[in-house]
Structure 1
Amino acid sequence: MRVILRRNNEVKEMEGDLKVSEILKILNINPETVLVVRGEEILTPDKIVKNNEEVEIIPVISGGR
């Protein structure tokens, strides 16, 4: 699968079908700090990403007073 890290526009290639939570663990990314998107669908940690798919990992920015 192709994983695009939008924080720095880095592309990672990974083999096999993996859960979103497994992808984030492999990449050492805290799941509370990002959104994982396939097309226009936001994926939850339990969703499986197939070997032939592409996902984007987008950092979440929060702010307030």
Structure 2
Amino acid sequence: MKVRMRIPKRQEWEFRGPRTVKSILEELRLNPETVIVIRGDTLLTSDAVVEDADEIEVRPALSGG
């Protein structure tokens, strides 16, 4: 699977699947409360399974008021 991250700059990693989002974030040393993970148009939860053929994107979780 390909993982793209745009924080703090654009980076890409390759992982072998199937893996959970949680395990990917742990390996990248990212706090799951500070990012969102997207596959296509779908927001993934930490227990979602990502397969070899998938591409996901990790973005910072932003909130505003």
Normalised by the length of structure 1, the TM-score is: 0.91
| Equivalent residue number for residue 20 of structure 2 | 19
Instruction: Specify which structure has the higher proportion of helix.
Output: 1
Root-mean-square deviation (Å): 1.0
- Which amino acid counterpart does residue 32 of structure 1 have in structure 2? E
Q: Give the match's secondary structure for 1:15.
A: coil
Cα deviation for residue 15 of structure 1 reads 1.3
- Which amino acid counterpart does residue 6 of structure 1 have in structure 2? R
Q: Percent of pairs identical after alignment?
A: 42
Q: Give the match's secondary structure for 2:59.
A: strand
Deviating beyond 4 angstroms after TM superposition, the runs of 4 or more aligned structure 1 residues are none
CA distance in 2, matches of 1:61, 1:39: 19
Listed as ranges, the gaps of 5+ residues in structure 2 are none
Cα deviation for residue 6 of structure 1 reads 1.5
Cα deviation for residue 60 of structure 1 reads 1.1
| Equivalent residue number for residue 10 of structure 1 | 11
CA distance in 1, matches of 2:45, 2:17: 18
Listed as ranges, the gaps of 5+ residues in structure 1 are none
| Equivalent residue number for residue 63 of structure 2 | 62
Cα deviation for residue 61 of structure 1 reads 2.1
Normalised by the length of structure 2, the TM-score is: 0.91
